[in-house]
Structure 1
Amino acid sequence: MSSRLEGKVVLITGGGSGIGQATAIELAKLGAHLAITDVNLEGAHDTYRLCGGKPHYCGVMDVSSKADVELRVSEIVAGLGRLDHVFNCAGINPTSYPLTDTTDEYWDKLVNVNLKGIYLVTRATIPHITTPGGSYVNVSSICGLYPQAEQAVYCATKHGVIGFSKSMALELGLKGVRTNVVAPGYIDTPTNSGVVKGEEYVTRMEEGNSLGRLGTPEEVAGVVAFLMSEKAKYMNGSVVEVHGGLKMLES
């Protein structure tokens, strides 16, 4: 039973940085053909180069736009021939606000990207994943399992990802297509809300972790690759926490 993904076609959203980029690099090493998308074209191109260029696809995708998602998916299938796996990684990290300070615009932004984006990409790609053994891996967060104060909107979107994914696991399972979730904890990326807050908050995150450090995007990427592989072929509807052993969960 192989963990390689030789010749498999994988769509990655949010592939221009962080976990998306690290996962693209890992999957390329395993022989996958990638459709690397991001709202930031420069970031997507950087990932494309790091993955060796051809036979991969690279393009802009705004996951919150139905028209943009459908256009890109049709281009990807036309260019790469099919789809086998989808990694829904595009998302916006939280800013801590008391709910009374939260704006409608902030709600719309997070819901449209973090939750509606997965819905749009999944709906557009289902008709193209026709071979048993295909899968979806969707990114939630520890906040989708353990709510935090002043992050109600973000937590709502990440809880929603889990509920949506479990429903898709039931809906697509009989077709041989699996849906699983990764729920990262404190990962050292430039957009991590704690990293943005500065060194003192990073120290708090490290001290609240049983391993005494932040995780790396590559450590999440390894889990994603496993979930797509034949080694995980009986995992469907699972939520895999990737957080190093948290000792505290607070905002």
Structure 2
Amino acid sequence: MLENKIIVLTGGSDGIGWECAKAYVKAGATICILDKNEVPDDRAKELITTDKLLMLTCNLANEQQVQAAFNTIIEKYGRIDAIHNNAAIAHPSKTLDETTNPEWDLLMDINLKSILYTTRYGIVHLKKSQGVILNTSSMVGSLGQDNHAVYVATKGAINALTKAMALDYAPFKIRVNAISPAAVNTPTLQAWSQEQPNQHEIENYLNKLQPLGNMPKGDVIADACTFLLSHAARFITGTILPVSGGAELGYRTLI
């Protein structure tokens, strides 16, 4: 589905990002991961081939580092076919009034401003390839979530930004979509769970959240992302696609 595509993937060293990396390589793509953490050698062996992995250590809140990463990718491959803006942090889990200025700034920089930077330095190449942009959002961006104000705000902004970008770049045949998971068993979700006052109840709550069953792993998200980046989704843009097991549907008792 993604044969010979060059895909830039931010935040791809673990969690949903790493599941996407594996799925993209399996579908035939070369992935360029931009992350502050490197992919460990033992994890890299999970790929069907490491020849299609370029790992670039990058602070996505630093514009110069993002620009340098894109320069490296173009020097090596000569083009970019897709950008998947997946990088995000979820800490801290607080109400708005409890959030400090540095915490606000870091969440906004990693979750939102990084999209500005990847677009700023990638858009000229996507115009040439008539490529694709995919943003990782969250169901909380549509539904809200208690005790997690700034993270929720960044995901709601990603939803709105995705639609604006889809309109701006449609004349260049660039598609822009977002993926919207609910509870997915990742290191980020595990860290969030540990910040909650009722930690012993959280896993049970999250497993009941999706009508289709317990919390999935990131592979279910990766499969949907692979579709959205592929030619099969060639007439889809501006969509916030729920991959949530129906978590947003109906009134249900979760306790």
* Structure 2 length-normalised TM: 0.90
Question: Contact 1:45–1:58 at 8 Å: present in 2 too?
Answer: no
Structure 1 position 10, deviation (Å): 0.3
Tell me how far apart the structure 2 counterparts of residues 47 and 88 of structure 1 sit (CA, whole Å): 21
Alignment-derived partner of residue 161 in structure 1: 158
Question: Contact 1:139–1:181 at 8 Å: present in 2 too?
Answer: yes
Alignment-derived partner of residue 34 in structure 1: 31
Equivalent residues in 2 for 1:74-93 (5 A)?
74-93=71-90
Q: Which of the residues 2, 7, 10 maps onto 2:7?
A: 10
Letter in structure 2 aligned against 1:68? Q
RMSD of equivalent CA atoms? 1.9
Instruction: Answer yes or no: is 1:111 the counterpart of 2:100.
Output: no
Tell me how far apart the structure 2 counterparts of residues 118 and 206 of structure 1 sit (CA, whole Å): 31
Q: Residue 174 of structure 1: SS of its match in structure 2?
A: helix
Letter in structure 2 aligned against 1:56? L
Tell me how far apart the structure 2 counterparts of residues 11 and 231 of structure 1 sit (CA, whole Å): 19
Q: Residue 61 of structure 2: SS of its match in structure 1?
A: coil
Q: Residue 179 of structure 2: SS of its match in structure 1?
A: strand
Tell me how far apart the structure 1 counterparts of residues 57 and 244 of structure 2 sit (CA, whole Å): 30
Letter in structure 2 aligned against 1:201? I
Equivalent residues in 2 for 1:1-251 (5 A)?
4-41=1-38, 43=39, 48-51=44-47, 52-192=49-189, 193-196=191-194, 197=196, 198-246=199-247
Tell me how far apart the structure 1 counterparts of residues 246 and 110 of structure 2 sit (CA, whole Å): 28
Identity %: 30
Letter in structure 1 aligned against 2:226? A
Question: Contact 2:19–2:222 at 8 Å: present in 1 too?
Answer: yes
Structure 1 position 59, deviation (Å): 1.1
Structure 1 unmatched ranges of 5 or more = none
Structure 2 unmatched ranges of 5 or more = none
Structure 1 position 56, deviation (Å): 2.7
Question: Contact 1:48–1:58 at 8 Å: present in 2 too?
Answer: no
**Deviation larger for 207-216 or 5-14:** 207-216
Shift in CA distance, 212/5, structure 1 to aligned 2, threshold 3 Å: closer
**Number of aligned residue pairs:** 246
Shift in CA distance, 26/249, structure 1 to aligned 2, threshold 3 Å: farther
* Structure 1 length-normalised TM: 0.92
Tell me how far apart the structure 2 counterparts of residues 123 and 245 of structure 1 sit (CA, whole Å): 35
Tell me how far apart the structure 1 counterparts of residues 17 and 43 of structure 2 sit (CA, whole Å): 9
Tell me how far apart the structure 1 counterparts of residues 239 and 68 of structure 2 sit (CA, whole Å): 30
